[in-house]
Structure 1
């Protein structure tokens, strides 16, 4: 089966501009062109773009996606490199969660310190002011 860029984008919920961008940065190989100079993608491109979209949805950076694709392209590789990238990403996610928990705690404290009244006496505005 073959896809135009629009059909590939629709099948993967990706904008045409994003597909072109992934081609420009080398995540997707440049496809052959039709006689009318339209890009023609195969099922391999569909699978690869779906992989990229899922990895991005999970928060992997473009560099991490590039590394994962490079490792996945050689099916003889063991999983150690992939595991390392996933573990690194998990640590990043856990750091962000810890930061968000601390932020939530701080925001709750600021909100609870507000006793109502006028803006001139607002503890939230006071806490945000430099």
Structure 2
């Protein structure tokens, strides 16, 4: 199967498939004499596995670790369980951060009333204030939601 066909079947863009090959999540396929990539069912299965993991918001390192563990079918699954527990903890932390983000946005939105000019806008004033507070409290964080792009393994 060529890259366009596997991309369509998996519902993953061609560029993403090439990227997964480049970073080692997907093994490189054999090449036909014409130079085209020739994908097998194993490639499709791996792509679908990666897609499911990404849908669970798993990081590349987490997916790589799961693939490594899956390649040891007789091993104890405690490492898989531990990885999932870490990911679940991360998701719960993000949910707390998102709730805080929601509360901040609600406060900002309530700061504006109809009939004001942009120079009197409570939202813009609140954003200037909030940004100042965030810079003081969030050292080195450039994320829209602090901690969402932290390390996969903590």
More deviation, 27-36/109-118: 109-118
Indicate which of 97, 100, 122 corresponds to 1:99: 97
Unmatched tracts of structure 2, length 5 or more: 133-154
Quote the Cα distance in structure 1 between the aligned partners of 2:15 and 2:108: 42
How many angstroms does 1:5 deviate by? 1.1
Which residue is equivalent to 1:75? 73
Q: How does 1:25-44 map to 2 (within 5 A)?
A: 25-44=23-42
Which residue is equivalent to 1:115? 113
How many angstroms does 1:115 deviate by? 3.3
How many angstroms does 1:26 deviate by? 1.1
Deviations 1:54-95 (A, max 9, x none): 101111000110000000111112211111111111111111
Instruction: Flag the structure with higher helix content.
Output: 1
Q: State the structure with bigger RCO (CA 8 A, min sep 6), 1 or 2.
A: 2
The alignment's C-alpha RMSD in Å is 1.4
TM normalised by structure 2 equals 0.77
How many angstroms does 1:48 deviate by? 0.6
Unmatched tracts of structure 1, length 5 or more: none
TM normalised by structure 1 equals 0.90
The reply on whether 1:6 has 2:4 as its aligned counterpart is yes
Q: How many residues align?
A: 128
